[in-house]
Structure 1
């Protein structure tokens, strides 16, 4: 008997033990293994379905967020436009108000100048009247009969007035 060639008895017992082990595995092991493989396959399929659902939801959420961002950008530009228009209105209103106030102040200054001018003219008229009365009084006091003397006296009085 050679070590490399098995004899018939050894082959019979090897085949018998193989069939017994195969039968036990077929009866008890393979159903458990196939059940575990099936469960694993179902778990993987369920995970793939869940992942696809998650990807689909993520895509929807991205679309929604893009829509919200676009809407926010539009709203932001609208608010900026409104704020710019409002600030321009305020600036224009302030300019108009400042122009009106400046015109009012200018008119008031002109009225004051006119009033002061009228007051000065009134004062000058009063002074001229007083001076005229003073001159007439002095002329009458002297009662000069000589017209040349009166002219000299009037010139003298006018010089005094200019000095005062």
Structure 2
């Protein structure tokens, strides 16, 4: 029965031992344990606040990145618009120069055609004049083979000259 109900001496020594262990733990272990717990609590608190600051900083960076992306898109659109306008301007200038060059070439061709036409007409007139003179000369030689025909012709010319 002694095992089921402990003796007073055993309980007394157990209480004394417990109090000694409690005193020793309070004197030597309790303070470092509490200090370690408070240090741990402080480091956890610091880590949480650092994480919160990092989270806020990440949100700020995200907003700044979005702002930069929007600015970059606007700049890209502006550059594309300017490039398109410059391309259209170059094409328009090239078209205008081509039209001017074409008009100049057409004017030169017309002028050359007109010059050639005048030259051809003059050549044709000269040829016609030479042919007319040649034909007239042949006719006159044929008609003026005899002396009487020559005198009659001369008399006729004299009359025409004095009549006019």
**Shift of the alpha carbon at 1:2?**
2.7
| Aligned counterparts, 1:35-46, within 5 A | 35-46=35-46
> Pairwise mapping of residues 20-35 of structure 1 onto structure 2 (< 5 A)?
20-35=20-35
* SS across alignment from 1:4: coil
What is aligned with 1:118?
118
Count of paired positions: 145
More RCO (CA 8 Å, sep 6+): 1
CA deviation string 1:41-93 (max 9, x = no partner): 00000001111111111111111111111111111111111111111111111
Distance in 2 of aligned mates of 1:3 and 1:65: 77
1:54 aligns with 2:54: yes
Point out where structure 1 has 5 or more consecutive residues left out of the alignment: 146-164
Specify the alignment match of 2:101 in structure 1.
101
What is the aligned partner in structure 1 of residue 76 from structure 2?
76
Instruction: Report Cα offsets for 1:10-30 as digits up to 9, x if no partner.
Output: 111111111111111000101
How far apart, in 1, do the equivalents of 2:88 and 2:21 lie?
Answer: 94
Distance in 2 between the 1:48 and 1:40 partners? 12
- After TM superposition, give the deviation of residue 115 of structure 1 in Å: 1.0
- With structure 2 as the length reference, what TM-score do the two structures score? 0.85
What are structure 2's unaligned runs of at least 5 residues?
146-164
Structure 1 stretches of 4+ with a deviation exceeding 3 A read none
* TM-score normalised to structure 1 length: 0.85
- Give the 3-state SS of the residue equivalent to 2:30 in structure 1: helix
Alignment partner, residue 18 of structure 2 = 18
